[in-house]
A = this chain, B = another copy of it.
Amino acid sequence: MTVESVGEVPGGLRAIDRQLLGLQPDPVEPGVLWFDLVPHLCRTDGRFYGGAALAVALAAGEAVTGRPALWSSTQLVATATQGERVRVETLVVASGRSVDQIQVRGSVGDRLLFTAVGSTATPRSDGLSGTGPVMPRVPEPEACADWRGPGNVDWGLVPDIGHHRVVEYRAAPLHAAAPDRPGHLALWTRLRGDMAAARPGLSPAVLGFMADLVPLAICRACGVDGAGTSLDNSLRVGQPGDSDWVLLELDGHSAVGGYGHGHVHCWSQDGRLLATGTQSARLATAAEMLARRARAR
């Protein structure tokens, strides 16, 4: 898998994002794209997947401004169901010599699904560059076991609906796991199936799509297995870098009364910090999630 140059956004829309998200420019209206809610853009319950909303917001900003994505904070407002067609409108609210401030709205009819604020930016040749943290030590992905969801219980995943159709995860035990930092854990992830076969490259959108696991770490910080309903998905883009697998280093920060926050670093296999992400979520234990799923059946 190769990474397209961060400075280059060919045709404004990367090949991998066109393939993963199915984004198509509106034939008439500038700044507008469309996509269909196909099964791999849904959660296992057939509803719109939050990581896909963030991915769409990142890719749409690049498509409309012609600059690489720098950051996006994507607020998840309402859901949508498999088969619906989503309109994505990008507004450039401020434009500088090397950076654009943008807002992206996704909607079905007059139903607002998500609103994103963010920037796209062209790196400056004389600008500062550097990385603060270092990648944690974990076993290689080949030595790690498949990870199938919070609590490692049988989630009864339906093979034909859900983002797990195109993304796989492996549990990556931290060499230096600290007993006083219970929300700190790591997973390897990569695209699979048709997406991996084409090897079309990583992108900010792909990282945003794969990194939507922060609620898992927040629940671990509370001492339980669980996940949550995301209120937002946010990503900040770092170094470009090639990688087959991406290490998600998760850190659950804080939860109060069922609402919590946390962080994720996305590392390439050779230790580049590709992106960082944050999320707030309404939390649920694995037991609550299984009970809810049983009631819905």
A residues with CB within 8 A of B: 6, 70-71, 73, 75-78, 93-94, 98-99, 101, 103, 112, 115-119, 121-134, 180-184, 217-224, 226, 231-232, 234, 236-240, 251-263, 265, 273, 276, 278, 280, 282-283, 285
Contact = CB atoms under 8 A, between A and B. Distances in A.
Give the oligomeric copy count.
2
Chain A interface main SS type: strand
10 interchain residue pairs of minimum CB distance: A127-B258, A123-B257, A132-B183, A130-B222, A132-B221, A238-B254, A73-B73, A75-B117, A236-B261, A124-B258
A257 B101 contact: no
Contact of A239 (B94, B232, B254): B254
A99 B134 CA distance: 36
Contact of A231 (B76, B101, B222, B265): B101
Given A75-B118, A231-B119, A128 B255 contact: yes
Nearest to A274: B254
A269 to B, nearest CB: 17
B75 A221 contact: no
Contact of A101 (B77, B98, B122): B77
A132 B238 contact: no
Nearest to A234: B73
Given A93-B112, A261-B71, A254 B132 contact: yes
Given A70-B280, A73-B234, A132-B254, 5 more contacts: A77-B94, A78-B94, A124-B257, A133-B183, A240-B256
A78 B93 CA distance: 9
